[in-house]
């Protein structure tokens, strides 16, 4: 009799456990269906060829957001984050900026553009170089409400505090202008005194480019496409699109420098290229 009772109890426990598991699976399914229906999550979609460096890319979508006064400028289209690569760690946030925000940054920078420079690895000082032929200028961190909102958005995207970032650098490339492959991390002891090493870069495209002007990672697996320039076919490439933001990490999760983050700006073949760069540091970057 006792054995029969124990058997009944065990069967009851198994039934309860099974019912709990099924209930949890049902709830998870409902949540996933709701996220898909709302457009917040999208399933991985194959690219149809082998050009994608990770086989197929995973995207996470948001619906369009109207940016109100005091919270940015203009209307941003549907946003989604795309995993571009794991070596280097690189991600594209589509429609990160609105058209109005892109135009605002360009118009703010235009009157103050000067020839771009590079950092001398021996002295830590800026110097002219044929490696970089664009023009540019810096916008002070927190300069106004619109810039502050963009910088807050960058912090939300990267999980790196606003005060770890340098000022926004706005860059302009005319036809034939380029930036040879380089690292954003420092190889000298001077530039790491303020904020430590550069850990990541957010590159925002402020304009479309008719031809050329891609960002290319020569040390990464190439994503060959007929729409890319010959320069861009030499590695993993991103074609500029107004409003998109490219995030890539110069350091690995174990805090070592990542040589696969080597990158360059391909020559603009036709049109103009406007972009804005935010360099992010390990520690607070003091202005």
| Average of per-residue pLDDT values in the chain | 83
Instruction: Report the pLDDT averaged over residues 38-46.
Output: 46
- CA dist 247 and 255 (Å) reads 17
Give 100-120 pLDDT, tens digit per residue.
999 999 999 999 998 776 565
* Res 245 pLDDT > 60: yes
Contacts of 130 (CB under 8 A, 6+ apart): none
Q: Which two tokens stand for residue 203?
A: 């590159």
> Measuring CA to CA, which residue among 165, 161, 168, 166 is closest to residue 147?
168
Give residue 4's pLDDT band: very low, low, confident or very high (50, 70, 90). low
Instruction: Report the pLDDT averaged over residues 88-95.
Output: 98
Give 179-212 pLDDT, tens digit per residue.
999 999 999 888 999 999 999 999 999 999 999 9
pLDDT in the model for residue 114: 87
Contacts of 76 (CB under 8 A, 6+ apart): 64, 65, 66, 67, 95, 96, 97, 98, 243
pTM metric for this prediction: 0.76
> Measuring CA to CA, which residue among 231, 262, 234 is closest to residue 248?
262
Give 206-242 pLDDT, tens digit per residue.
999 999 999 999 999 998 788 999 999 999 999 999 9
Are the beta carbons of 287 and 167 closer than 8 angstroms? yes
If one counts every other C-beta atom within 10 angstroms of the C-beta of residue 93, the result is 23
Phi, psi of 265 (to 5 degrees): -105, 115
The reply to whether omega before 276 is within 30° of 0 (cis) is: no
pLDDT in the model for residue 268: 97
**20-29, 52-61, 139-148: least confidently modelled range:** 52-61
* Res 13 pLDDT > 90: no
Instruction: Report the pLDDT averaged over residues 54-72.
Output: 54
pLDDT in the model for residue 229: 96
């Amino acid at each position: 009799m006792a054995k029969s009772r124990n058997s009944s109890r065990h069967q009851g426990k198994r039934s309860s456990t099974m019912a709990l598991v099924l209930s949890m699976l049902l709830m998870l399914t409902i949540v996933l269906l709701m996220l898909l229906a709302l457009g917040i999550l999208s399933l991985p979609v194959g690219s149809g060829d082998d050009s994608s460096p990770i086989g197929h890319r995973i995207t996470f979508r948001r619906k369009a957001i109207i940016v109100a006064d005091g919270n940015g400028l203009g209307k941003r289209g549907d946003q989604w984050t795309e995993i571009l690569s794991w070596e280097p760690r690189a991600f594209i946030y589509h429609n990160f900026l609105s058209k109005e925000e892109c135009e605002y940054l360009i118009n703010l920078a235009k009157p103050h553009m000067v020839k771009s420079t590079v950092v001398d690895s021996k002295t830590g000082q800026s110097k002219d170089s044929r490696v970089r032929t664009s023009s540019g200028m810096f916008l002070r961190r927190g300069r106004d409400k619109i810039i502050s909102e963009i910088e807050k958005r960058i912090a939300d995207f990267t999980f790196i505090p606003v005060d770890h970032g340098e000022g926004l650098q706005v860059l302009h490339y005319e036809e034939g202008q380029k930036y040879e492959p380089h690292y954003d991390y420092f190889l000298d002891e001077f530039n790491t005194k303020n904020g430590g090493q550069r850990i990541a870069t957010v590159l925002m495209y402020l304009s479309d480019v008719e031809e050329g002007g891609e960002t290319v990672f020569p040390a990464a697996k190439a994503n060959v496409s007929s729409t890319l320039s010959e320069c861009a076919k030499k590695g993993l490439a991103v074609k500029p699109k107004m409003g998109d933001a490219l995030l890539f990490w110069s350091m690995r999760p174990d805090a070592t420098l990542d040589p696969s983050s080597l990158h360059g700006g391909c020559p603009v073949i036709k049109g103009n290229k406007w972009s804005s760069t935010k360099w992010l540091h390990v520690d607070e970057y003091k202005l």
